[in-house]
Structure 1
Amino acid sequence: MKNILIILSFIAVASCELLTDGNITPFVSNGTKADLGEFPYHVAIVMFTEDNASICSGTFIKHKWVLTTAACLNYGFVNYTLRFGSVDLIKGEKAWESGVIQKSNFKIHPDYDRYTNVNNIALIYVEDMPANLTDHKNVGFIDFPSESDAKTNLTGKIAVISGYGLINDTVDYTEGVLYHTITEITSNDVCQIIQTYNVTEHDLCALPIDNKSVCRGDYGSAMTVEISSKNVLVGIATAIPKFCSVGIPVIYENVFYHREWILHTMNGSSVVSVGFSFAALMIMMKMKKIFIIFNLLVIACHGQQSEDTNILEREMKVGDQNIVPTITNGSRAILGQFPYQVAITMNMAGGQAVCGGSLIKHKWVLTSAHCIRNIYTNFRVTFATLNAFTGSHEWRSDIIPRGNLHIHPEFNITLIPNNIGLIYVSDMPETLTNSPNVGFVEMPNDAEANLNLIGRTGTTSGYGRTIDNVNLWDPILHYTTHDIIANNVCESVYNVNLSNRNLCVDTTTGGSPCASDAGGPMTIQINPERRILVGIVGITPSFCTIGNPGIYESVAAHRDWIERTINGSSMIGVSFAIVAAAIMMTIKNSL
C-alpha cells in the first residue's frame, strides 16, 4: 500500500459535517456513479432535527428489516425515514419512502460501545413497508450470508461498496448521488496499526484500491463479496477515516460475526428495543433539551447552507471552512483582557483549523491533546490577538516542529481522560511578556490543587461563533462564565464515565464553550489579586445553546505531568516523521 497517511480520529458517527450541524455527509470518494436499480438493497436513512437533515446508509436484508450501524441510531435525531430505490436523493425518483420510524423499532446491539466501536451494528424494523415493495424493479434484498457462506476466508477478496455523496476530498458539498467502487479485504493487523482501540474478530479491514473509498458519514453502507455466484453482504462501514482520497484503510463491522444476533433479533428471540428511556427523558426535560448530539472530535467542519428551501438539499451541502470555534452566548473580549489566551492555528485537508491554548510559562503553551494530533500540520501560535486568523497580533510563531508537541502519554482519542498537551514555542521572544497584552496564567499551587471546585464560577474564553445557527463562523475572541458542577451531571447527560481528571460545567444560565474552543482556558478567581487556571476545554456539545454541560480536563490533576514535561524529566515528544515512517514500514511489511 502506497502513500498512506496516518490519521487517528474518534469514530462515533464522527464526520466533520456531523459535528457542526448534525449532518452526516456520506460519500464514496473517487467512485463511479451508480445506475438506477444497480444497488437495489441500498437504503438511504434520512434523519431530521427541527432544522437539519442528515444521512446514513442501510442495507435491505429481509422484508421490513434494514441493517445499519448502531451509531447512526444512537445520536438523538428527532425523526427518521427510509428511502428505497433511489440513486439521487434530491432530484431522482424513488421507489418508496417510509413514514417516520418509531424509535422502539430500532434494535441496537446490546453490547454496543460507542467509545471502542465494538458491536457497532443495529437493525431497523420498517413497520409500514408495503408487502409488494420488492416487486419494484429498483428494490431488492441483499443476499444475507448462509451458515456455509460465513465460513469463507475473506482475506484478499475484492469487495463492492456504495454510498451517497461527494466524489473526493476536494469538493465542498454532496449532491446526494449514489456512487460505488471496489476495495480489498485485508488482515485486521493493517487497520490495528492506525487505530487506538482493539480491532477484533468483530471487524473487517479493507484497503482502498486506487484511493477509492467510503468516507466519513457513509456509516452503515454495505460491503459485499461474490460467494458461490451470490452477491453476499459481509460488512457494514463503521470506522471511516476523515480524509478519504489518500488510501487509508477502513474498518467494517463483520456481518459473519454478527449473523446469529441479526437472525435472532429479526425472529424476535432476542429483540433489544432502544427508544428514549424514561430516565433519559427526565434528564432532557430537566436540562430543557430537545435532543443530545455529542461530539468528541471537537475540531469540526463549518456547514454552509444553500438558499434552496429543500431541507435535504440545503443540509447536504457542506462548506470547506474546517472549524467552528465558539463561545456561544458569550461576550466579546477586549485586547489584553485575557493576556494568557493564545490562538493555535493549523492546516487540515480543505482549510485551516484553530484551537485555544494558555501561556503558562515562557515558551510553554497548555492545550488539549487532540488539538495537536497528527491529522493537522503547520501549527502556529499567535499571541495577543482578538481574531485567530486575520486580526492584528503582538507576535506569531513560526511553524512549530512536531518534536515540540507533547501529548499526554495516556491520551486516547476514543476515551475522555488525559486530553491534555503542551506546545514548546522555541522561537518565542524573551521580551514578549513585556507587552501589556501578553502574560502568563497562574497554575494552581499545592493548596489550590486540593480545592473543591464545585460551586465555583469559572471563566472560559475562545474564538468563534456566538450562536449555533449562523452560516459563517467568526474567529473573534469571546468569553463567558459558568458554574462548576458535579461530574455525575455530565455522566448522566452524556452516558460517559468521568474521573477526578475531569471537570463538569453548567451552561444553562450562561454561555457555553463549543467545538474548537478545545484547548482553551477556564480560570477561577482565588482572591482579588490571584486568578488561576483550573480547566482545559475538552469535550463540548455539538449544539451549544441548548444547555448541555461541558467537560473540561482538570489542570490540578495533571500538574505533575505538566511540570515533568516542562522540566524535561519526562519529555513525551510527538515526532511525526519517525513515528509515521515506522508505521509505514510496518504496514508495508505486513502486506
Structure 2
Amino acid sequence: MKVLVVLTVLAVACAALEVPRKAVYLKDLKQEQRSIEGRITNGNHATEGQVPYIVGISLNSNGNWWWCGGSIIGHTWVLTAAHCTVEADEASLYYGAINYEQPAFRHGVTKNDFIIHPEYRGLTHDIALIKTPHVDFYSLVNKVELPSLNDRYNSYENSWASAAGWGAIYDGSNVVEDLSIVELQVISVGDCQAYYGTQTADQDVICVSTPDGKSTCQGDSGGPLVSNDGSKLIGVTSFVSSYGCQSGGPAGFTRVTSYLEWIKDETDIYY
C-alpha cells in the first residue's frame, strides 16, 4: 500500500551543529524497519457528516494498490499529496464515507486528471490536485474552504486543528474501515526545524505536536488538517518521523497557504 512519507532522523554530535536529516518514503525502507504502520493514532471515530470534505482515495499502478486521503475544495476538485499520485495510473475516490466500504458514491479518475505541483521533489512541494466529475454538495459531501489570500502569512502557531483519515489502528495492519479524527496543536517552524532540520521543515511545511501517541501516519497521506477556528484547510498530510508515528516526533503537513496562488491558477478557487 502507498504509505505516508517518513524521515530517518540522524543523531547530532553537537546541539549547536545542525545535521541534515535523510528523508525517504516508507516503501523504500528495508522490510525490518517497517514496524510502524499507518493510522490516525489514538484518535476518535468520526460521526456521520462530521468530516464531509474528506475523500478516501484508492490508487493503482499496474495492479499495485495503495490508500490515501484528500479534501474536497470545489465541485470538481480534490486536494491531496503529490506523493500519493505521482506513481498512480488511476484512482477511485470514495465520497461521504464513514466506513470506506459504504461510501455515498464513488468516482473514477486517471492520471490525466492529476495535477502535481511542478516543483515536487521528495518531501518538498508535496501537493497535488485531482480533477473530478462534478459533485453536488449536501450534508455528507461538502467542500472545505481554503484560507483567504490575505491569510497567506498566517503561521497558525499554537492553534488547534483536526486531522482525519482511515489509517490502520495497530502496527502491521492495513487501513481500517472506519474514519478517525484527532485534534493536534500546531507548533512553530523553528520547533519543527529543531527536530528535522531546515531542509525538511521549511516555510512550506506546517507541523503539529504528537503528545500521548496522537498522530497521523501511513494510510492518512494526503488527508486534511483543518483549523478548529474557522474550519479552513491549512495542511495536507505529508510525513512523520521514521522512529514511528507514536514516537513523539512532530507530524508534518504541506502548508496550504504557501500554495494558494498555484491552486487559484489551476482551479480558479480562492477566497
**TM-score above 0.5:** yes
| Structure 1 partner of 2:110 | 102
Relative contact order: is structure 1 or structure 2 higher (C-alpha 8 Å, sep ≥ 6)?
A: 2
Alpha-carbon distance in 2 for matches of 1:173, 1:103: 24
Judge which range, 45-54 or 11-20, deviates more: 11-20
Question: How far apart, in 2, do the equivalents of 1:179 and 1:44 lie?
Answer: 12
Q: What is the CA distance between 1:146 and its match in structure 2? A: 1.2
**Structure 1: tracts of 5 or more residues without a match:** 1-5, 269-591
Distance 1:141 1:56 in 2: 18
Out of 112, 116, 141, the position equivalent to 2:143 is 141
The answer to whether residue 78 in structure 2 is matched with residue 66 in structure 1 is: yes
Alignment deviations for residues 469-517 of structure 1 (CA, whole Å, 9 cap, x no partner): xxxxxxxxxxxxxxxxxxxxxxxxxxxxxxxxxxxxxxxxxxxxxxxxx
| Aligned partner letter, 2:95 | F
By how many angstroms is 1:15 displaced? 5.4
2:148 maps to amino acid: S
Identity of aligned residues (%): 26
Q: Secondary structure at the match of 2:217?
A: strand
Q: Secondary structure at the match of 1:82?
A: strand
Residues 119 and 19 (structure 1), Cα distance of their counterparts in 2 relative to 1, 3 Å cut:
farther
Which residue type is aligned with residue 128 of structure 2? Answer: A
Partner of 2:93: 82
Compute the displacement of 1:104 (Å): 1.8
Change (3 A) 1:13 1:129: farther
- Quote the residue 1:315 is aligned against: none
| Correspondence for 1:189 | 190
Which of 205, 208, 212 is equivalent to 1:206?
A: 208
Judge conservation of contact 2:225–2:235 (CA < 8 Å) in 1: yes
Q: In structure 2, the residue corresponding to 1:258 is in which secondary structure? A: helix
- Aligned mates of 1:244, 1:54 — CA distance in 2: 19
The answer to whether the 8 Å contact 1:166/1:174 transfers is yes
1:43 matched to which residue of 2? Answer: 55
- 1:63–1:152 distance in 2 versus 1, CA, 3 Å: same
Distance 2:111 2:22 in 1: 25
Structure 2 CA distance for partners of 1:222 and 1:34, relative to 1, 3 Å: same
Bigger mean CA offset, 117-126 vs 41-50 = 41-50
How far apart are 1:73 and its partner, in Å? 0.9
**What is the one-letter code of the residue matched to 2:60?**
F
Pairing 1:95-494 to 2, within 5 Å after superposition: 95-99=104-108, 101-114=109-122, 117-126=123-132, 128-130=133-135, 133-135=136-138, 137-169=139-171, 172-195=173-196, 197-227=199-229, 230-242=230-242, 243-267=244-268
Give yes or no for contact 2:167–2:217 (8 Å, CA) kept in 1: no
The answer (yes or no) to whether the contact 1:162–1:179 under 8 Å persists in 2 is yes
Structure 2 CA distance for aligned equivalents of residues 259 and 187 of structure 1 = 20
Displacement of 1:143 after TM fit?
1.7
Q: Deviations over 1:454-483 (max 9, x none)?
A: xxxxxxxxxxxxxxxxxxxxxxxxxxxxxx
Conserved 8 A contact 1:42-1:60: yes
> Quick one: structure 1 residues 16 and 89, their matched pair in 2 at CA, closer, same or farther if it must change by over 3 Å?
farther
What letter is aligned with 2:163? I
Describe the shift of the 1:18–1:180 C-alpha distance in structure 2 as closer, same or farther (beyond 3 A).
farther
When the two structures are superposed, what TM-score results if normalisation uses the length of structure 1? 0.39
Shift in CA distance, 112/174, structure 1 to aligned 2, threshold 3 Å: closer
Q: CA deviation at 1:12?
A: 5.6
**Structure 1 stretches of 4+ moved >6 Å:** 16-20
Task: Pick which of 237-246 and 54-63 moved more.
Answer: 237-246
Query: Which residue type is aligned with residue 237 of structure 1?
Result: T
Structure with greater Cα Rg: 1
Q: In structure 2, do the counterparts of structure 1 residues 62 and 17 end up closer, same or farther at CA, with 3 Å as the change threshold?
A: farther
Could you tell me how far apart the structure 1 residues matched to 2:76 and 2:24 are?
Answer: 26
For the structure 1 residues 18 and 74, does the alpha-carbon distance in structure 2 shift closer, same or farther, using more than 3 Å as the test?
farther
Q: Which runs of 5+ in 2 are unaligned?
A: 1-6, 10-20
When the two chains are superposed, the root-mean-square deviation of aligned CA atoms in Å is 2.6
How far did residue 167 of structure 1 move? Answer: 2.5
Preserved CA contact (<8 Å) 1:30 1:168:
no
Give how far 1:53 is off: 2.6
Q: Deviations over 1:162-204 (max 9, x none)?
A: 11032244x6343232111111111122222332534211111
The offset of 1:11, in angstroms, is 5.1
Kindly tell me: are residues 87 and 187 of structure 1, through their superposed partners in 2, closer, same or farther at Cα, counting changes over 3 Å? same
In 1, the alpha carbon distance for the partners of 2:142 and 2:206 equals: 25
